[in-house]
Structure 1
Amino acid sequence: MRIDGIETFVVANPRPDLGGPYLIFVKLTTDDGIVGYGEHYGATFRPSVVEAMLEDLAGALLIGRDPFLIERFCRSAYGRGFTARPDVTLGGAISALEMACWDIIGKAVDKPVHALLGGRVRDAVRSYTYIYDEPGVEGDAVYRDPELAARRAAEYVAKGFTALKFDPAGPYSSMGGYQPLLERIELSVRFCSAIRDAVGTDADILFGTHGQFTPGGAIRLAARLEPYDPLWFEEPVPPDDVEGMARVRRHTSIPIAAGERLTGKAEFARLLAASAVDIVQPDLGRCGGLLEGKKIAAIAEVHGAQIAPHCYCGPIVAAANLQLAACSPNFLILEAIEDWGGFHAELLKTPLRFENGCTVVPNAPGLGVELDEDVLAAHRYEGDRLHIEMVDDPVDHNEPRWTGRG
């Protein structure tokens, strides 16, 4: 068996707030007709550039080669250009192509990927969602109004969710980290109070930040959140500040979660060795793929940490995350995009199933899902935005109601 074709798809998302403005998929085809799908998560370049990167990398290291040689492909790709160090865009390209190879491998041997990575230890995986606005609501209203967020939280719990995430703490600036504004600290407390009152002990609350604070600022904020017993405080300082994150962890009782912006086992190993995190959040569309994800999970297990795979993109990364969660003893919880309905369901011939607060592990070969290419063709993205962006201006402490997304 040899890989003899690659095709890429950049797909416009009708609801950009649910996974980003577009989704990037890759399709590999073998000489005996087996198809494997992968997905690239959020790069530092425009989607047309990412497509070219995927095609270039596959052309150099996969076309004409055996898809079973995962380790060889990943090591060769990691060292390409004499780099051999973490790079999130290359990591995304490796991830997308690697998971497509696993999809092919599973189909070739008629086994789900989790059966090839140690075998599943659970049939369904506990899942959480962000608290999102209702369809048609614009302006991130749910991140500005604690009472609205509390009502939405109660609605999600009624649907079966036992954990919910929200991030009202303040804007993400490329000039960070910064001290949290007092107005945002108070808003964060009001969010935690209102949501805790709404869900009681029926659901965990997950407090999200995106690396925007200094260690001292994060510690100040954490102290105000502790009475509401969040399951985690996410990425409180910039992702490269390992010692800063460790300092935050030493000063709060709230478990620290991080890792969505990391790639490769070495970056995760540094966080764990520094006792900086309790929970790691690899995104299999960026961190290096399924095999690298399994290695990250193993390193976390040795350090007594758990994994909570990150997902803010499409259903192929979700399916890969689900395969890893199914076969990892130290799995904690999976990020879902609501209950996998809407456009995420339309993209798949057989949608992922959400039941009783969990995503059901599929038994079909490979990743367990198939893209509907007619839907991909009908939603081609023609823009040039980055998948996720942060503001480029410093946070102005003279403007306490600075309007950046929280």
Structure 2
Amino acid sequence: MDTALLIDDVRLTPVLISDPPLLNTQGVHQPYTPRLIVEVVTRGGVTGVGETYGDGAYLAPARPLAEALPGHPVTDVNGLFTLAERVCGGSPTPEGDPQGVDAGGLRGVRTADKLRLSVVSAVEVACLDALGKTLGLPVHALLGGKVRDTVDYSAYLFYRWAEHPAGGEKDDWGAALDPAGIVAQARRFVAGHGFRSFKLKGGVFEPDQEIAAVRALAEAFPGRPLRLDPNGAWSVETSLYVARQLGGVLEYLEDPASGTDRMAEVAAGTDVPLATNMCVTTFPEIAGAFARGAVQVVLSDHHYWGGLHRTRELAAVCRAFGVGLSMHSNTHLGISLAAMTHVAATVPNLDYACDSHYPWQTEDVITARHVFRDGRLAVSDAPGLGVELDRERLAALHRRWLDDDGTLRERDDAAAMRQADPEWVTPAVPRW
């Protein structure tokens, strides 16, 4: 083994990044959200970067893994999983979450295994970035080579307030609380980024209000693909009602009901394809969902599945079973978007435009922001991920994390909602 490819040091930098007041079924995004930046430094002096969730539950396993990594080859990404299982230990599912839903990612039950996978994902990406820089190859070449030069992304539409009730950064988007507001938001995304498909985050208002918003989008953008995602907020009966109302309008309906059992019931009663990033987020969850026909589209997420190689494994399974594939997004920075774009470029069966929160994020830790053109990102052929850390900006966002009293270091959409409505509690599902 070339000693230059051995890990010499790992740096973990938690940050707080600004987040707009975007609404979902659990509440509203906080003014700032935590992310974790991972740097892997090789003995050859090359630094690779990765990114994942920054809540305390993720920092806990990240720290012992970082301490155990020196001496590990950056080429041995398969070995990261065994190492993480050995040194990270287990932790119980967090309390205070009666629906078993991770408020940060809305991904279903949060377990110690899922936490480890999300941490390993950032380390794997950092290792691939370092390896690519060392060899002079882009990450997509390390994954087998790209099959497309650009990756399609979808406009991610949200009901939102004009500003946070308790401070935070301000923007000029204004409120979007009705169909007209959603259509105006979509027009701005088209004008600024050229998006050609649209996803609306639902589960915020009565279903008929959200049906009206989707119909308004269909009228404003005839023929454009549309998706609706209420994050499991509806009953089976409500899900089927919405599917009937929007049959022929939606490209797919994402997680209308919570859990594989309910999704299977909905799927049996409608021809509208059902997508998920909640009931299929690990390999053990695949068999039951696919066998029962509960989902027709899986939204992969390299943070959930353990990195870029395992995302490609998921894609192969979906291809074998004839299940569609897209990619999920949560509040992320440019490192994660670069990683997402590299792996998306290597997957033959990327059937739908990918999600991305990135246009909502005004802050970043890379020197040059990604630019969408015609709703697409060009796939970088530069060594590694093709991004560089802005160390001054990274330090500033880390200082924000250090200065926080702990209130914002854990993403909690319900707590943020209580700033406006002190009586708010996380709604039980089904909400409607």
Classify the TM-score, shorter chain.
0.7 to 0.9
| More moved, 308-317 vs 264-273 | 264-273
TM-score, length of structure 2 as denominator length: 0.78
- 1:128 corresponds in structure 2 to 154
**Alignment counterpart, residue 339 of structure 2, candidates 320, 323, 332:** 320
Offset at residue 161 of structure 1 (A): 0.7
Q: Is the 8 A contact 1:53 1:93 kept in 2?
A: yes
Residue 2 of structure 1 pairs with residue 14 of structure 2: no
Equivalents in 2 of 1:72, 1:314: separation in Å?
Answer: 26
1:300-339 to structure 2, matched below 5 A, reads 300-312=318-330, 313-331=332-350, 332-337=352-357, 339=359
Matching of residue 57 in structure 1 with residue 91 in structure 2: no
Matching residue within 199, 218, 221 for 1:199: 221
User: How far has the Cα of 1:289 moved from its partner?
Assistant: 0.8
Does the 8 Å contact 2:40/2:48 carry over to 1?
A: yes
Give 1:216 deviation, angstroms: 3.1
Map of 1:163 onto structure 2: 197
**SS of equivalent residue, structure 2 residue 13:** strand
User: Which residue of 1 is the match for residue 210 of structure 2?
Assistant: 188
Provide the identity percentage.
Answer: 27
Pick from 392, 411, 417 the counterpart of residue 387 of structure 1: 411
The letter of the residue matching 1:162 is: R
In 1, are the aligned partners of 2:247 and 2:272 still within 8 Å (CA)? yes
TM-score, length of structure 1 as denominator length: 0.83
Read off the aligned partner of 1:65 and give its amino acid letter.
H
Q: Which of these residues, 154, 157, 162, is aligned with residue 187 of structure 2?
A: 154
Q: CA deviation at 1:133?
A: 7.0
Is the 8 Å Cα contact of residues 6 and 55 (structure 1) preserved in structure 2? no
Instruction: Report the AA paired with residue 22 of structure 1.
Output: P
User: What whole-Å deviation, never above 9, does each CA across 1:294-351 have from its counterpart, x for those lacking one?
Assistant: 111111111112322212122222111111110001112222235487324xx21232
Partner of 2:242: 221
Does residue 26 in structure 1 map to residue 50 in structure 2?
no
Q: Give the distance between the partners of 2:210 and 2:277, measured in 1 at CA.
A: 22
Q: CA separation in 2, counterparts of 1:277 and 1:255?
A: 7
Residue of structure 2 aligned with 1:277, choices 295, 320, 323: 295
Q: For each residue in 1:209-238, what CA deviation from the matched residue of structure 2 results, as whole angstroms up to 9, or x when unmatched?
A: 1122333332222222225x1111111222
Amino acid at match of 1:220: Y
Instruction: Give, in angstroms, the shift of residue 205 of structure 1.
Output: 1.4
Aligned runs of 1:5-16 on 2, under 5 Å? 5-16=9-20
1:144 is aligned to 2:143: no
Structure 1 match to 2:418: none
- What is the RMSD of the two structures over their aligned residues, measured on CA atoms? 3.0
What is aligned with 2:79? Answer: 72
Distance 2:123 2:426 in 1: 35
| Matches of 1:263 and 1:371, distance apart in 2 | 29
SS in 1 for 2:380: coil
Per the TM alignment, residue 27 of structure 1 is displaced from its structure 2 partner at its CA by: 0.9
SS in 1 for 2:128: helix
* Residue of structure 2 in register with 1:404 after alignment: none
1:264–1:366 Cα change, 3 Å: farther
Equivalent in the alignment of 1:179: none
Q: Distance in 2 between matches of 1:82 and 1:393?
A: 29
Q: Which amino acid aligns with 1:328?
A: V
Q: Which amino acid aligns with 2:315?
A: A
Is 1:243 the counterpart of 2:264? The answer is no
Distance 1:393 1:335 in 2: 25
Q: Mark the runs of 5 or more structure 2 residues left unpaired by the alignment.
A: 23-28, 91-110, 166-172, 415-423
Q: Where does 1:81-120 land on structure 2 (aligned, <5 Å)?
A: 87-120=113-146
Q: In structure 1, list runs of 5 or more residues that go unmatched.
A: 171-182, 401-406
Q: Which string of whole-angstrom CA distances, capped at 9 and with x for unpartnered residues, describes residues 49-77 of structure 1?
A: 533421212223x2211111111222442
Aligned residues: 376
Relative distance call for 1:111 and 1:41 in structure 2 (3 A) is: same
Change beyond 3 A, Cα 1:216–1:86: farther
Change in Cα spacing, 1:340 to 1:115, as seen in structure 2 (3 Å) is farther
* 1: CA distance, partners of 2:112 / 2:13: 25
